[in-house]
């Protein structure tokens, strides 16, 4: 019995030591990983209100009225805010529409008028520096379609536009922040696709006023004065000679008369 009890105690002690040794040599349990935070979404680009931009500048009331009446404003707004390319708009001032006599816009159909307004925009954002590259690419299509194109030239930083009927330039930048660029132009852009290619010749530039200068051989006022005084001098001296001659003549006659009476 004592042997059995001693054996049981020995076995229990052996098992206890084995469990302690196994616990010391076993690796620690892995720590639970906390989930990484989700990055915040990029802020949406600010909505560009073209009506507001065209209302505070210009005045561009005539162009804005055409945008609204033809529903082209919705097309421009969608291109500006819902595309990656952006938009570039060329806006004539009210005075440009008033100066437009021929051809008249009143004879255009609704579709032609819509194409005319679309002709004033390109489906991409262009800064002023980008027009230097565009000047080497030839005609550039507009939102009106491939048949409605513009030619650009960059002359020492001044951007010139040529539509065939209209030759104008960018006079100021109303708004030029990606994705929207709005530039003021001096004339209404008239496309050949609507008005044809029979373009009347440009009126000649007025001739400069002639620079009238006095002739080199023309006598001056001072010279004229001297000439007139020099001419007056001979007449004065001749009158003195006549008076002297008359006096001597009277003396001679008096002496001759006295001599006759004496004799």
Match 């003549």 to its residue by tokens.
249
Distance of CA 199 to the CA centre of its chain: 25
Distance of CA 99 to the CA centre of its chain: 19
Kindly report whether the global pTM for this prediction surpasses the value 0.75.
no
What is the share, in percent, of the chain residues with pLDDT greater than 90? 48
Asked if the structure places residue 239 within a domain, the reply is no
**CA pair distance 46, 56, nearest whole angstrom:** 18
Give the residue numbers spanning the domain of 110: 50-195
Asked if the structure places residue 79 within a domain, the reply is yes
Asked if the structure places residue 148 within a domain, the reply is yes
Token duo for residue 228:
């007139």
CA end-to-end span of the chain: 226
Cis peptide before 102 (omega within 30 of 0): no
pLDDT tens digits, residue range 83-105? 999 999 999 999 999 998 888 89
What is the domain count for the chain?
1
**CA pair distance 86, 45, nearest whole angstrom:** 12
Report yes or no: 63 and 32 within 8 Å, Cβ to Cβ. Answer: no
Lowest mean per-residue pLDDT among 20-24, 192-196, 245-249? 20-24
What's the pLDDT score for residue 244? 56
Q: Which of 150, 132, 133 is nearest to 141 (CA)?
A: 150
CATH number, domain with residue 55: 2.30.180.10
* pLDDT tops 50 at residue 231: no
Distance of CA 42 to the CA centre of its chain: 34
User: How many CA atoms within 13 Å lie on the side-chain side of 201?
Assistant: 3
Asked if the structure places residue 136 within a domain, the reply is yes
Confidence band of 242 (pLDDT split at 50, 70, 90): very low
Asked if the structure places residue 120 within a domain, the reply is yes
* pLDDT tops 60 at residue 240: no
Asked if the structure places residue 220 within a domain, the reply is no
Asked if the structure places residue 221 within a domain, the reply is no
Asked if the structure places residue 85 within a domain, the reply is yes
């Amino acid at each position: 019995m004592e042997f059995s009890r001693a054996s049981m105690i020995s076995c229990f002690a052996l098992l206890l030591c084995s469990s302690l040794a196994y616990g010391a040599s076993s690796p620690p349990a892995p720590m639970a990983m906390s989930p990484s935070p989700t990055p915040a979404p990029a802020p949406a680009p600010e909505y560009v209100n073209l009506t507001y931009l065209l209302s505070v500048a210009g005045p561009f009331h005539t162009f804005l009225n055409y945008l609204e009446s033809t529903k082209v404003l919705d097309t421009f707004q969608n291109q500006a805010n819902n595309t990656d390319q952006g938009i570039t708009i060329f806006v004539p001032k009210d005075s440009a529409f008033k100066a437009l006599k021929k051809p008249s816009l009143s004879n255009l159909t609704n579709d032609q008028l819509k194409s005319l307004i679309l002709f004033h925009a390109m489906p991409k954002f262009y800064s002023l520096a980008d027009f230097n590259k565009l000047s080497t690419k030839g005609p550039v299509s507009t939102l009106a379609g491939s048949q409605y194109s513009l030619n650009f030239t960059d002359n020492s930083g001044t951007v010139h536009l040529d539509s065939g009927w209209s030759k104008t330039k960018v006079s100021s930048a109303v708004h030029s922040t990606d994705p929207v660029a709005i530039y003021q132009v001096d004339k209404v852009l008239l496309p050949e696709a609507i008005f044809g290619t029979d373009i009347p010749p440009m009126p000649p530039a007025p001739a400069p006023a002639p620079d009238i200068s006095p002739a080199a051989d023309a006598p001056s006022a001072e010279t004229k004065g001297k000439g007139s005084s020099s001419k007056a001098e001979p007449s004065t001296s001749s009158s003195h000679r006549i008076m002297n001659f008359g006096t001597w003549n009277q003396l001679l006659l008096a002496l001759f008369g006295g001599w006759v009476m004496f004799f």
